[in-house]
Structure 1
């Protein structure tokens, strides 16, 4: 893997685009799309790869992403399909839980990059397990990732939701990935799934070694984060935040981490910056708030 430093980084999120339907509002989201937004907000050239329906939510999603400087050139509009949405509940601590309807547009993923024009330019692409719940979308994602060159960083955000995962999906994704991002609940799941032993640092080390990862990323909510490469480790206690909701905070952390990695920053620098970004996003409503100028990664 080569660091790309001479040109603006080109970053994409592939998978679900959806509306988080809250009690009194609807906010555009979907983990890979949130990732793309935050990569763009931090200074990269950002693309969303997904599908929407030709309904009101689909039209609104395209407008919102364009307004937020995320390219929609690779979002396919499917006639008659329902644009993805999720019923989101935020508890008294600001932590969100989700209920996902079946058979929405991103379950029928068609990737518009048929000639590989975007794929040839990608510095990094982020994908998850949720969008692979449908065999159609899973095949589209796996086939697309397989065509990307070795200089494209492949980022697997585990992003477990409900029962929309399997060992096969997770193992195949890990084998394709250069970077794994997971949270403190998800490492417990992987510990059981793969028979990992020891504390979280030892379990992360085993995952990095077993799947030949360039970087493992563990977020721990308000308790900070752990970054681990084959050579180094960075443990950060996190930053305090006045939490409004946690939607999109993990995705902003992933984006900041990926950009820092591609720019050749140290793990401690990456960890500190990603925690600052995520803490700020927790203090805002919705997954895609504007970011302060001092959080941008220059010359992306």
Structure 2
């Protein structure tokens, strides 16, 4: 059975030194989930402008449904100025007053989340009251058996303890990286080494699973008191845009497939490494990386 997956939040143009690329964590997540065989779509909002039309065209080119993309008559499509460090790490200037700040949660999006096996959301798209209210309303429509994946995705100053805490309480799966874990530990007064902090977050917020990515050091997965520690896949990094989102997609679908943690961790690291070796957040994945997921859905 093909899983139904939804990414809720921002879609935008990353304005890179070499040209623009479609981005936004939920859009990247949705694209990679779809490559891995899921029936995946974004719930987002763009301006009724040329950039918005270009977003819709790019999504269609990538094979991503646009039925849950809202159109805003008053506000522009989101853009982000991106500068790449010498290590390929992106540094973002995220422009405000854009369409996805005013997500409404219109009927197509509500129908999509009500039928979902997994949804993914983050903090950035909750920076405005309008989109924050819409996201929480949408999460209220998600079936109780579905995965609700909170990809923390802290950006600039667009987060607060109340937003993070409320999001953790709405989620049952958490994904965060090596810069975000210390910030959450500080917000919630959690001490100890990385595994201890992860375990405390899981216990405090009743999380089914936690994924902790460490860049070139691989990742830790935690579920039901069990751990998987993967050292990472060596790769020549072109840029890391979208690598974490592809990891989240693979991890989410691995959980839906019922795989062992080590299997999920291995496949998610391989996929994230491939994305990091390519430019932009939505490079095509080779068939060899997609096939295990596609076989899982064919057999279910």
Local SS of the residue matching 1:34: helix
Cα shift readout 1:209-268 (whole Å, capped 9, x = no counterpart): 111101011000001000001231101100011110000000000000000000000000
Equivalent residue runs for 1:191-230 within 5 Å: 191-230=185-224
The alignment partner of 2:111 has SS state of coil
Question: 93, 96, 99: which one pairs with 2:93?
Answer: 99
Task: Look up the match of 1:30.
Answer: 24
Answering whether residue 259 of structure 2 is matched by residue 261 of structure 1, we say no
Distance 1:116 1:248 in 2: 26
Unaligned runs of 5+ in 2: none
Is 1:279 matched up with 2:273? yes
Structure 1 partner of 2:178: 184
Which residue does 2:141 correspond to in 1? 147
Match of 2:107 in 1: 113
Residue 38 of structure 2 is matched in structure 1 by 44
Q: 1:121: how far off?
A: 1.8
Q: Is the 8 A contact 2:6 2:113 kept in 1?
A: no
RMSD of aligned C-alpha atoms? 1.1
SS at match of 1:72: coil
In 2, the alpha carbon distance for the partners of 1:65 and 1:77 equals 14
Q: Which runs of 4+ in 1 moved over 3 A?
A: none
1:24 Cα deviation from its structure 2 partner: 2.4
Structure 2 CA distance, aligned partners of 1:181 and 1:162?
Answer: 18
CA distance in 1, matches of 2:142, 2:281: 28
- Alpha-carbon offset, residue 119 of structure 1: 2.4
- Partner of 2:61 in structure 1? 67
Distance 2:150 2:109 in 1: 24
Deviations 1:48-89 (A, max 9, x none): 100000111100100111111111100011113210010001
- Unpaired runs of at least 5, structure 1: 1-6
State the shift of 1:91 in Å. 1.2
- Contact 2:75/2:98, CA 8 A, preserved across alignment: yes
**Once the 2 structures are TM-superposed, how far is the Cα of residue 111 of structure 1 from its aligned partner?**
1.8
- Deviation (angstroms), 1:113: 2.8
* 1:154-169 to 2 correspondences below 5 Å: 154-169=148-163
Contact kept, 8 Å, 2:60 with 2:66, in 1: the verdict is yes
Q: C-alpha distance in 2, partners of 1:173/1:85?
A: 24
**Greater fraction of residues in helix:** 2
